[in-house]
């Protein structure tokens, strides 16, 4: 539902300053006895909490969320019939600064949209013979109360003594309050613009400790987005301070490095009238730990809860593995998505940023659609993207856009305008998604096409490149080893093809021809510039090979050779990660699709830094911004960009769903899909479940006594192609809806390739940190004074047992036995 573009809000008479109290609005009204229904529609420039007769309306928090306020402001309509009664009634609202008024970005710029919090509401009273409407106007009065200040980055200060008793009830004396001031706002009011942000669960503390400096630290065991709810009894006027952080220092103190300038501090002043329960409502934090100061008496576990807050989304995907580290990695991906879907898909929830970066969302899109139903959140976000793109002529790097610098067309970031609608269409099969986004999709390609050189190469202008490549300088995250214009041109081929496919679906034949030809032109330019006839890529990097492999930029022979070279590059880095935003979502897919699944597994299961599992071994409960955001000694890698809750690099979960779990969609809306798990990495069981638009699809496999058991569920209306892994007959079978199962013996000796022996090359032993530590201890005992580590780097292909040949014959068997014992006890 949309209203006229010009709307009258109400506000206090003066602009707000940093640290100002939140305005309280109220008005009384009468209700006749024959009332049939009462509905309240409410929104704000800021964060609104509405009341009727003293009762909080609805369970939504941080309303109305964050949209492009100059164009679209979301409203919410509530049935409040049960909250009103015949006679005198009152309506009220508190409005915090929120995104519209308060500080945003690392420059802490205020008044990005409005210079003061403002309220708009409509209360409709319906009777059998008429309807009466009460709207926000000068008949409302405005004052202040207990919310002394609030900021998304700073936190909330609440003095319970200052809360006016009965302020939202009839009969309250508001003679000292001022008449509300009209504020005209030129934007559409849109009912249910995005799903509400709500409380989802409350976590119990796992530990309460005292730091070396004497401070009380509460550990909730999980990095999350939300706030702390406290229940306390104490004397009037006592100040309780809660500081939030993602990490503790190795010494056990609160680590605030990852917050940058965000204070992330809430303050509560006790009323002093028995037990008091309070939680902030006009801010949120990204945290695991809270430092509590000023608590009266002894702080107990039951006194605090961490309230988990994010947009309302239905869970759609699940994954489990026999490897607990991989299962935890997947949980970390899930928690990072939850923590960053607070109104808009943000990069991080803790520091002075929390912006809707387009590159992060684009990289993570396939994983997001598997885990949750994101049509509501991302559908709203894409509307804001299209509006701001139309206004500025380019896709902003953040949506909504409040960056202190202007944006320009950039691969992976700007092309989310094309790739995200295409991904949503593939997941849900709804043509309307493409219809709504098509003008924006075309506008992006129309913007980029004139930037190409005469050959069709996108070879100029700013690019993020393979952002946050671990080899990039800390001061230049865009300075990775992969040519940024290779990245730009490769992604342009991908997105132009997606647009051509969208044109085909929508029946736009001329556009389909045009964009197909453009994609071919850019592909030819890419091959001429970056690819040799033998499939070598000019940028000798994992990302440099993964992109052309996955974007079909090579012929069959070149692709085979490129896959082999990619596997060599990954092995040369000892299976540590060497990709950033552009390459990480694709590198494991590129390896497995060219026949190097075991290399993909080794890359995924490496625990040395930088790697997917290094953060897990360091106790991470979310995905980090940098692979080494926390160093092995537990200290933050202080680069200024060390968020511990950044979902983008969790895009590898898409490979886990498809290649370990085995579920892969092959047509829009999951009408067809494949079940083809790929075994490796020492996995003995895994499952992937996904609630598709047609119902539950599931792949579950396990190895039992040398046999593989594969169980599959296909929802009604769908069919699946089943390729049971390592089936003795190479089975490929089409199945219809229902439950299906296969059991068969695996090849003799299956799994032995992951077992180390004296015949294993030394380089394979070195990859297993536990085994290598034991072997090193043995070798140092038998070869005292020899620099074993240095020698090992030159003997990588030599079987471990061959080292015994360097011993006198009478000692060889003793060395072999000691080495075997080290392997057996790993």
User: Residues with catalytic annotation?
Assistant: 353, 625
- Answer yes or no: are the C-beta atoms of 657 and 663 closer than 8 Å: yes
**In this structure, what are the phi and psi dihedrals at residue 384, rounded to the nearest 5 degrees?**
-65, -40
The β-bridge relationship of strands 672-675 and 719-722 is: parallel
Separation of alpha carbons 229 and 637, rounded Å = 31
- Answer yes or no: are the C-beta atoms of 117 and 101 closer than 8 Å: yes
Q: Is 49 helix (H, G, I), strand (E, B) or coil?
A: strand
- Could you say which DSSP state residue 472 is in? S
Residue whose tokens read 């009384």: 28
- Could you say which DSSP state residue 660 is in? I
**Selection from 593, 439, 447, 583 nearest residue 502 by Cα:** 439
- Could you say which DSSP state residue 296 is in? S
- Answer yes or no: are the C-beta atoms of 727 and 743 closer than 8 Å: no
Separation of alpha carbons 467 and 344, rounded Å = 21
- Could you say which DSSP state residue 681 is in? T
Kind plus residue range of the DSSP H or E element containing 371: helix 358-371
Return the number of other C-beta atoms located less than 10 Å from residue 206's C-beta. Answer: 12
- Answer yes or no: are the C-beta atoms of 471 and 418 closer than 8 Å: no
Helix axes 597-605, 324-340, angle to 10 degrees: 70
Separation of alpha carbons 627 and 645, rounded Å = 12
**Selection from 85, 45, 40 nearest residue 63 by Cα:** 45
Angle at 90 between CA 144 and CA 2, to 5 degrees: 90
Separation of alpha carbons 714 and 702, rounded Å = 19
- Answer yes or no: are the C-beta atoms of 148 and 157 closer than 8 Å: yes
Separation of alpha carbons 585 and 365, rounded Å = 10
Tokens of 428: 């849900």
**In this structure, what are the phi and psi dihedrals at residue 824, rounded to the nearest 5 degrees?**
-70, -25
Q: Is the peptide bond before 610 cis (omega within 30 degrees of 0)?
A: yes
353: left (phi over 0), alpha (psi -120 to 50) or beta: alpha
């Amino acid at each position: 539902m949309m209203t006229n573009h010009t709307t009258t809000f109400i506000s206090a008479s003066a602009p707000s300053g940093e640290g100002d109290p939140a305005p309280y609005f109220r008005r009384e009204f009468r209700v006749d006895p024959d009332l049939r229904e009462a509905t309240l529609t409410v929104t704000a420039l800021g964060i609104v909490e509405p009341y009727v007769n003293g009762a909080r309306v609805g369970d939504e928090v941080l309303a109305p969320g964050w949209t492009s306020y100059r164009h679209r402001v979301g409203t919410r309509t509530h049935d409040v019939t049960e909250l009103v009664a015949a006679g005198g009634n009152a309506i009220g609202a508190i409005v915090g600064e929120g995104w519209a008024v308060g500080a945003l970005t690392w420059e802490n710029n205020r008044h990005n949209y409005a210079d003061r919090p403002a309220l708009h509401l409509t209360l409709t009273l319906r009777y059998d013979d008429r309807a009466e409407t009460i709207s926000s106007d000068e008949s409302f009065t405005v004052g202040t109360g207990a919310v002394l200040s609030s900021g998304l980055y700073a936190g909330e200060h609440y003095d319970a003594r200052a809360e006016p008793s009965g302020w939202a009830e009839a009969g309250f004396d508001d003679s000292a309050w001022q008449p509300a001031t009209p504020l005209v706002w030129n934007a559409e009011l849109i009912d249910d613009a995005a799903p509400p942000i709500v409380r989802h669960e409350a976590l119990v503390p796992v530990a309460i400790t005292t730091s070396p400096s004497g401070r009380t630290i509460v550990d909730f065991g999980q990095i999350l987005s939300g706030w702390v709810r406290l229940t306390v009894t104490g004397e009037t006027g006592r100040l309780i301070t809660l500081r939030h952080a993602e990490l503790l220092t190795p010494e056990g103190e609160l680590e605030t490095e990852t917050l940058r300038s965000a204070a992330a501090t809430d303050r509560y002043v006790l009323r002093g009238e028995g037990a008091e329960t309070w939680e902030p409502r006009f801010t949120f934090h990204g945290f695991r730990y809270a430092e509590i100061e000023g608590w009266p008496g002894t702080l107990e576990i039951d006194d605090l809860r961490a309230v988990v807050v994010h947009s309302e989304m239905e869970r759609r995907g699940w994954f489990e593995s026999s490897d607990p580290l991989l299962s935890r990695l997947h949980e970390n991906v899930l928690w990072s998505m939850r923590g960053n879907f607070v109104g808009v898909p943000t990069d991080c929830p803790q520091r002075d940023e929390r912006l809707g970066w387009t590159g992060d969302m684009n990289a993570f899109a396939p994983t997001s659609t598997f885990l949750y139903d994101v049509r509501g959140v991302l559908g709203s976000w894409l509307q804001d993207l299209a509006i701001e793109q139309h206004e500025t002529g380019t896709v902003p790097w953040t949506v909504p856009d409040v960056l202190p610098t202007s944006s320009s067309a950039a691969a992976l970031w700007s092309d989310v305008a094309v790739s995200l609608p295409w991904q949503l269409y593939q997941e849900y099969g709804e043509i309307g998604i493409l219809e709504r986004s098509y003008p924006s999709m075309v506008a992006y390609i129309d913007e980029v096409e004139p930037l190409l050189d005469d050959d069709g190469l996108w070879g100029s202008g700013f690019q993020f490149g393979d952002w946050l490549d671990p080899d990039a300088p800390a001061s230049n995250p865009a300075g990775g080893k992969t040519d940024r214009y290779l990245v730009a041109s490769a992604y342009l081929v991908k997105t132009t093809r997606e647009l051509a496919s969208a044109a085909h679906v929508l029946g736009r034949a001329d556009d389909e021809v045009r964009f197909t030809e453009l994609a071919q032109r850019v592909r030819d330019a890419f091959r001429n510039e970056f690819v040799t006839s033998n499939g070598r890529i000019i940028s000798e990097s994992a990302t440099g090979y993964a992109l052309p492999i996955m974007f079909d930029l090579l012929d069959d022979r070149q692709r085979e050779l490129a896959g082999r070279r990619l596997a060599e590059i990954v092995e040369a880095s000892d299976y540590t990660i060497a990709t950033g935003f552009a390459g990480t979502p694709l590198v494991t897919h590129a390896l497995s699709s060219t026949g190097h699944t075991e290399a993909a597994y080794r890359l995924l299961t490496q625990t040395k830094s930088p790697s997917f599992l290094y953060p897990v071994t360091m106790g991470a409960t979310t995905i980090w911004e940098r692979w080494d955001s926390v160093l092995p000694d537990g200290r933050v890698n202080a680069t200024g960009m060390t968020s511990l809750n950044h979902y983008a690099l969790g895009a590898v979960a898409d490979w886990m769903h498809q290649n370990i779990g085995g579920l892969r969609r092959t047509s829009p809306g999951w009408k067809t899909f494949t079940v083809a798990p790929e075994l490796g990495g020492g996995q003995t069981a895994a499952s992937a479940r996904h609630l598709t638009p047609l119902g539950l699809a599931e792949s579950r496999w396990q190895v039992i006594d040398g046999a593989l058991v594969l169980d599959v569920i296909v929802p009604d209306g769908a069919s699946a192609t089943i390729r049971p892994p390592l089936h003795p007959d190479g089975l490929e079978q089409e199945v219809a809806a229902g439950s299906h199962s296969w059991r068969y013996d695996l090849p003799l000796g299956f799994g032995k390739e992951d077992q180390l022996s004296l015949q294993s090359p030394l380089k394979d032993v070195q990859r297993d940190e536990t085994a290598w530590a034991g072997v090193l201890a043995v070798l140092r005992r038998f070869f005292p004074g020899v620099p074993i580590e240095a020698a090992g780097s030159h003997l990588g292909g030599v079987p471990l047992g061959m080292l015994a040949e360097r011993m006198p014959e009478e000692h060889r068997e003793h060395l072999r036995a000691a080495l075997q014992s080290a392997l057996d006890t790993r």
